[in-house]
Amino acid sequence: MAQSELSSDARKAVRISFEFFPPKSPDMEGQLWQTVEELSLWQPDFVSVTYGAGGTTREPTLAVVRRMIAETPMPTAAHLTCVGATRDEVLQVVDEFCAAGVRHFVALRGDSPNGVGSKYVPHPGGFASSYDLVAALRARKDVEVSVSAYPERHPESADDGIDIDMLKRKVDAGATRALTQFFFDNDIFERYLEKVRAAGITIPIIPGIMPIQNLTQLKRFASMCGASIPVKLDERFAGLDDQPQARADMAADIAAEQIADLVARGINDFHLYTMNRSALTNATLKKLGLRPKAGSLSGAAA
């Protein structure tokens, strides 16, 4: 048995979800829908579609969500942010998503329109923060609301206590699940989860897993969102720059090993950041001993 392959009982307990983002070009649109068709065979618990800061991808996100709901059997969640809009404008978007069949939102504050690292200032007449958005969603609609969580602390949080207090505010407002920022050190996640539970937060905290498509790009992204990249990742990719298949195999090994270790620690739910590509996600899940379900979508990649 491979190091990352799960036992039969463990495989039955694992639940997965996927994240997609709206495409920015016709080529990327084709890639998205091919990925959706292939990953739908895993029958995820749900999938989510991201939403640009200030509603910059409002129409593309809505178009993707509508098609997901119309053409796939996958429960589809829509991301939503507070940035760059009044309360009424945000709630109008909520009405549009609900009219399309959405019953699950991922409620986020969103980054400052002045860029990552700049001070966040609520839009005049807008939601002060994500917990206000959560409360408004739960008050207006019979919907499920997921929120974000940060095992290595949000970049704007001065300490762990402030960060966990913010999560508790979101839970008190009605959040039903938290999806974490990606991380690569499971000890960090386990310590974070212990602090969260000690604070009386009982909702599911689902690890965000990022299979490594490109280590250099990942480092740039991680530096902006406060995630650390262990030195051992550089060591494992060393010498593979001109070997694309070997790099892909290594990336799948790393992601599968991380998930297998988390399963051994009692975690069964995982949210995979697909980057709108199926190959690495497929390879990761297969290394765990999981197998896609029979059947396929009709028309989803048309």
Share of the chain above pLDDT 70, in %: 90
pTM of the model: 0.92
5-43: per-residue pLDDT in tens? Answer: 999 999 999 999 999 999 999 999 999 999 999 999 999
Catalytic residue among 19, 38, 144, 152: 19
Task: Give the chain's domains with CATH numbers.
Answer: 8-287 (3.20.20.220)
Compute the distance between CA of residue 274 and CA of residue 184 in angstroms, rounded to an integer: 16
Please state, rounded to an integer, the average pLDDT across all residues of the chain.
90
Whether the per-residue pLDDT at 149 is higher than 50: the answer is: yes
Whether the per-residue pLDDT at 266 is higher than 90: the answer is: yes
String of DSSP letters for 211-279? --S-HHHHHHHHHHHT----HHHHHHHTT-TT-HHHHHHHHHHHHHHHHHHHHHTT--EEEEE-TT--H
CB-CB contact of 168 with 148 (8 Å): no
CB-CB contact of 90 with 80 (8 Å): yes
Can you tell me which residue has the tokens 């938290």? 178
Q: Which of 75-89, 110-124, 278-292 shows the lowest per-residue confidence on average (mean pLDDT)?
A: 110-124
Confidence of residue 156 (pLDDT cuts 50, 70, 90): confident
Compute the distance between CA of residue 85 and CA of residue 294 in angstroms, rounded to an integer: 43
Whether the per-residue pLDDT at 155 is higher than 80: the answer is: no
pLDDT at 300: 36
Q: Please state the φ and ψ torsions of residue 108, each to the nearest 5 degrees.
A: -130, 150
Confidence of residue 138 (pLDDT cuts 50, 70, 90): very high
pLDDT at 281: 97
CB-CB contact of 109 with 82 (8 Å): yes
What is the average pLDDT across 146-152?
95
169-181: per-residue pLDDT in tens? Answer: 999 999 999 999 9
Whether the per-residue pLDDT at 118 is higher than 60: the answer is: no
Compute the distance between CA of residue 116 and CA of residue 289 in angstroms, rounded to an integer: 39
199-221: per-residue pLDDT in tens? Answer: 999 999 999 999 999 999 999 98
pLDDT at 145: 97
Whether the per-residue pLDDT at 67 is higher than 80: the answer is: yes
Q: Which of 25-29, 261-265, 276-280 shows the lowest per-residue confidence on average (mean pLDDT)?
A: 25-29
Whether the per-residue pLDDT at 54 is higher than 80: the answer is: no
Query: Is 190 considered catalytic here?
Result: no
For 83, the 3-state DSSP assignment is: coil
